[in-house]
Amino acid sequence: MNREVTVWAPATVANLNVGFDSLGCALTNPGEKMIVRMTNAKGEVRIRSVHGAALDMSSDRNIAAVAAKSLLHAMGDPCGFELDLYKSIKPGSGIGSSAASAAGAVVAVNELLNAGLCREELLPFALDGEQLASGARHSDNVAPALFGGLVLCPPVGMPLSLPVPDGWHLVVLHPQIEVRTADSRGALPEVVPLSDAVKQVGWMGAFVAACFRGDAEQATFALEDLLVAPHRQKLIPHFEEIKQAAFKAGARTGGISGSGPSTFWIAKDSKDAKAVAHALEECMAQMNVPCQLHEAQIAAQGAHIIP
């Protein structure tokens, strides 16, 4: 039996404009590694090291540790684990840093214990970790981090994998500013006009139908955000300038990733994606805002063991 594994977990984009708290996708880039090894301390999970971010080392306050411990306890605490975290997805970036940690941890523990659980069975344990980060058990980041691909998370029942629109190339811009999840949630109204809700449901239906028809252009066209971005964009400095730069360079659509501050922009091919990335880099330089840029496609595979 292996006593150590290395797992890779993808960044994710949640909400995807039409699917607030219910729609997300995994990205081919960035992603992050975690090394997990067995110990003889039954029932104990310890964070041995964290690289790339200043995270809490306490096993009760670290997302990866909480998710790992939840699954370990469910399996009867036959051993313990220690974790080395390599954070390439910056916490608070809006592209699923906590989801990657939670998903990676449960995939590693499942492998080391030879538990044989499927991804749907691992989801509740990963959500135990995600709940520590967000205060809620929304799975629109965790599910794609576990399953890969494009995932719809209904109010009740298991997440549903959707066909991925062909040819999508995403550019993710992460300005080096902090947008607290509490502030992002607080910016949203408790009540929205019925007409807006009806239109948003219509766009969501059009998006799902386009995915199943294999109509990437219609799927792109359907990504209209009437309920969230109009209220959250004020929290992201220079959002309008970013949007205009992306569209001028060739982006077909885009929006706020998760609760921000990252934004995502969809291009039809890699050439346009590179032009969008270059335009956004120049825009941020003109605004004197440090940033990270990621060019990606939708990852077919979620968190998984690597050599």
At 54, is the secondary structure helix, strand, or coil? coil
Q: Which residues are designated catalytic?
A: 130, 181
pLDDT at residue number 134: 75
Name the residue among 86, 181, 80 with its Cα closest to residue 134: 181
pLDDT at residue number 186: 84
Q: What angle do CA 192, 193, 195 make, to 5 degrees?
A: 135
Can you list the residues of the chain whose pLDDT is less than 50?
none
| 127 close to 72: Cβ distance less than 8 angstroms | no
**Phi and psi at residue 276, to the nearest 5°:** -65, -45
At 175, is the secondary structure helix, strand, or coil? strand
Domains and CATH numbers, the chain: 4-161+300-306 (3.30.230.10), 164-296 (3.30.70.890)
pLDDT at residue number 15: 93
Dist. CA 62–CA 108, nearest whole Å: 16
| 222 close to 207: Cβ distance less than 8 angstroms | yes
pLDDT one-digit tens code per residue, 13-46: 999 999 999 999 999 999 999 999 999 999 999 9
| 184 close to 232: Cβ distance less than 8 angstroms | yes
Supply the pTM of this predicted model.
0.93
pLDDT one-digit tens code per residue, 252-292: 999 999 989 999 999 999 999 999 999 999 999 999 999 99
